[in-house]
Amino acid sequence: MANHKEAKTIQAIILAAGTSSRFKTGRTKLIEKICGRPMILYPTGIMQQLGLKTVMVVGFQKESVQEAVINHFADSVTFVHQEEQKGTGHAIACTKENWTADHLLVLNGDMPLITQDIIEKIIKKHLESDAAISFATAHHCDPEALYGRVIQADNNIQIIEAKDFEGDLAEQCCVNAGIYVIKKDFLLDHIDQLHNNNASKEWYITDLVNIASKKQLKVVTVSVPFDRIRGVNDFKELWAAEQIKKSEIIQHWMAQGVRFCIAHNVQIDWNVTIGSGSFIGSGAQLLEGTKIGKDSTVGAFSFLKNTTIGDRTHVYPHSYCDSSIIGNDASVGPFCYIHGDSKLHDNAVVGSFVEVNRSTIGSFSKAKHLAYLGDTMVGQQVTIGAGLVACNYDGAKKHQTIIQDNAFIGGNNTFVAPVTIGASAITAAGSTITQDVPANALAIARERQVNKENYADKIREKINGDKTETEVSTTTPWAPLEAGIIFKQAE
Ligand code: UD1
Ligand code: CA
C-alpha cells in the first residue's frame, strides 16, 4: 500500500470458517483450486501484497484451510477459531480480541477474482469519508443468485439477504459484494446488536449496515465490477470464476507474445510462465509452476506439470511431462512420458512411446521410439534404438543403468541394472545385457540365428498332412501355427 500509515490503521479479517454446504462434497470449498491455487489464497495474497496484518476466521475443516495458508504465507496470518458456524456476523464477533487497528477490512474468503486496486479503492473512500461502515456493491440481475440485495430508499440503506427478500429479486440488481471496511469503535459498540432472527437463523455481518443506517451513521458504498467480486458457492460458480481467471492469465501471456491455439481449450495455472514466441496447442494443460522458454512449442493435448522447458524446444502432441526439466532445442513426444525429476539436456530427443523416469538424457542423445528409461543416466550423443528396456527393478530395489557418451544401443535391448555401457560401445540388436560393456566394445547377447534351408515347405506339408488328425480349426492355413502346434511337429 502506498501510504504506510494506512497499513497500521487498517487490519484485514478474512472469513473462512463456513461449511461450504452448497458444494456438496463434504469438504471446505476454500481449498478447492482455481487455476491451480487454493481459492482462499487469492484474497489472502492480496492482503499480503497490501502489507495488511491479517486475521483469518477458520472453523469447518480448519486444518486444511490453515495448512494451505501456512504453506504459502508461513506464519504471517493469525487464525481465530469459530467453533460453530453461526453466520458471517458471528464469525466477525469471534475475532473481537484481535481488533487492534482503527478500521477493519472484512472480506469473504470465497472471492478469488478480487483485485488489489478494488480493495485500495474501498479503503481510500472509507478513510476519506470517515464512514462508520463502507462496503462494495455490484450490479447483477440474476434472480437465482443468492447475493444480499442492497436496497436504498430515502436516507436509508440496507442489505437484505436473498432468502429474506420478499419482493422480486430480478428487480433488485444491486448486490452486496462481501467486502466491508468498518470502524473499530462502531463495531465495538454494535456487534452485540446482531441477531439471528432471519430465514437462515444465522448472525449476518450485513446487519451492521442496517444498524448504522438506522442510526443515521455514515454508510458509504463503492460500486465495483461484478466479475471481480463473484462469490464461489458451488461448482457452477467455481467454473465461472475459473474461466475468468484463466482467460486473464491467457490474455496476459498473449500480450507477452505467446500464441495459443483454441485458447479457451487450454488449462493454465496461475504460476505458469511462458517465453515470447512460444506456441501452445489446443487442449494443452500447463500446470503447477510449469515454465516454458522462448520460441518453444507445446503440442496439442500435452500435459506439463511442474516442468521446465527451455528455449526452442518442441513438445509434440500428447506428451506427459511431470516434475522434470527439458533443456533448449530439445524434442519430446508425441506420446512420451517424462517424469520423476528427469532431466533432458539441450538438443536431446525423446520420441514416441518413450518413458523416462528418474533419468538423465545428455545433450544430442536420442531415444526416438518405444523405450523405458528408468533410473538411467544417458551421456551425450548416445543413440538408443527402438525398444530398449532398462530393467531397473528387481522386485525389491531399484538399480541404475549408465550409458556413457557416444554409445550406440541396438533395437530391442534389455539392460538388467545395475549395468554400465561404456563410452562409444555398441550393443547388438536384441541383446539382453546383464554385465557391464567396456568402452568401445561391441556387446552381442542373443541366440545365434540358424537358417534351415527349404524347411518352410516341409513344415507346410506336415501341416496339411496332419490336418484331419487335429481338432484345431483349419479355416485359415495358419491356424495350427497360432495354436502353437507347428513347433512341436516340426522338430
Ligand atoms: C454473503 C453475504 C451476502 C453477499 C455475499 C457475497 C452474509 C450474511 N451474506 O453471502 O450479502 O452478497 O456474501 O458473496 O454475509 N463464513 C464464516 N463463518 C460462518 C459463515 C460463513 O467464516 O459462520 C465465511 C465463509 O467461509 C465464506 C464467507 O464467510 O468465506 C461468506 O459466507 P457465505 O456462506 O459464502 O455467504 P453468502 O451466502 O455468499
Ligand atoms: Ca459466498
94 and 218 in a single domain? The answer is yes
| Confidence band of 216 (pLDDT split at 50, 70, 90) | very high
Determine if residue 315 is left, alpha or beta; phi over 0 gives left, psi from -120 to 50 gives alpha, anything else beta: beta
Task: List, in order, residues 6 or more apart from 191 with CB less than 8 Å away.
Answer: 89, 92, 93, 96, 208
449 in any annotated domain: no
pLDDT at site 464? 86
Q: Which ligand is nearest to the CA of 162?
A: 1
Q: Closest Cα to residue 55, out of 123, 127, 105, 110? A: 105
For atom 3 of ligand 1, the residue with the nearest CA is 148
Name the one residue in this structure whose C-alpha cell is 492469465: 249
pLDDT at site 488? 46
Query: Does residue 4 register a pLDDT over 90?
Result: no
Q: Closest Cα to residue 91, out of 109, 75, 73, 117? A: 109
- Residue 178 Cβ inside 6 Å of ligand 1? The answer reads yes
465 and 430 in a single domain? The answer is no
CA distance 294 to 64: 37
158 and 280 in a single domain? The answer is no
239 and 202 in a single domain? The answer is no
- Residue 175 Cβ inside 6 Å of ligand 1? The answer reads yes
For atom 14 of ligand 1, the residue with the nearest CA is 231
Kindly report, residue by residue over 295-307, the tens digit of the pLDDT. Answer: 999 999 999 999 9
The minimum-distance atom of ligand 1 relative to the CA of 17 is: 22
CA distance 467 to 22: 71
448 in any annotated domain: no
Kindly report, residue by residue over 366-412, the tens digit of the pLDDT. Answer: 999 999 999 999 999 999 999 999 999 999 999 999 999 999 999 99
For atom 37 of ligand 1, the residue with the nearest CA is 147
Task: State the distance from the centre of ligand 1 to the C-alpha of 10, rounded, in angstroms.
Answer: 21
24 and 155 in a single domain? The answer is yes
User: Among residues 264, 339, 345, 369, which one is catalytic?
Assistant: 369
Catalytic annotation on 369? yes
- Dihedral angle at the C-alpha atoms of 140, 144, 146, 148, nearest 10 degrees? 50
- CB contact at 8 A, 312 and 296: yes
Best mutation site among 108, 113, 137, 141 for ligand 1 pocket (most ligand atoms within 8 Å of CB) = 108
393 in any annotated domain: yes
- Residue 99 Cβ inside 6 Å of ligand 1? The answer reads no
- Residue 57 Cβ inside 6 Å of ligand 1? The answer reads yes
450 in any annotated domain: no
Query: Does residue 267 register a pLDDT over 90?
Result: yes
Task: State the distance from the centre of ligand 1 to the C-alpha of 248, rounded, in angstroms.
Answer: 25
173 and 245 in a single domain? The answer is no
- CB contact at 8 A, 82 and 66: no
Please classify residue 274 by burial: count the beta carbons closer than 10 Å to its beta carbon, then call 0-12 exposed, 13-18 middle and 19+ buried: buried
> Lowest mean pLDDT: which of 106-120, 158-172, 428-442?
158-172
Domain enclosing residue 253, as ranges: 235-443
- The total domain count for the chain is 3
Indicate the residue among 229, 245, 278 that finishes a domain.
229
Q: Which ligand is nearest to the CA of 21?
A: 1
263 and 408 in a single domain? The answer is yes
Task: State the distance from the centre of ligand 2 to the C-alpha of 154, rounded, in angstroms.
Answer: 29
CA distance 364 to 405: 10
- CATH code at position 265: 2.160.10.10
476 in any annotated domain: yes
Name the one residue in this structure whose C-alpha cell is 547377447: 445
Indicate the residue among 172, 197, 229 that finishes a domain.
229
164 and 248 in a single domain? The answer is no
For atom 22 of ligand 1, the residue with the nearest CA is 17
For atom 9 of ligand 1, the residue with the nearest CA is 148
249 and 189 in a single domain? The answer is no
Query: Does residue 489 register a pLDDT over 50?
Result: no
CA distance 317 to 98: 53
Degrees (nearest 5) of the Cα angle 461, 466, 472? 120
433 and 399 in a single domain? The answer is yes
10 and 152 in a single domain? The answer is yes
Kindly report, residue by residue over 312-350, the tens digit of the pLDDT. Answer: 999 999 999 999 999 999 999 999 999 999 999 999 999
- Which of helix, strand or coil describes residue 367? strand
- Residue 269 Cβ inside 6 Å of ligand 1? The answer reads no
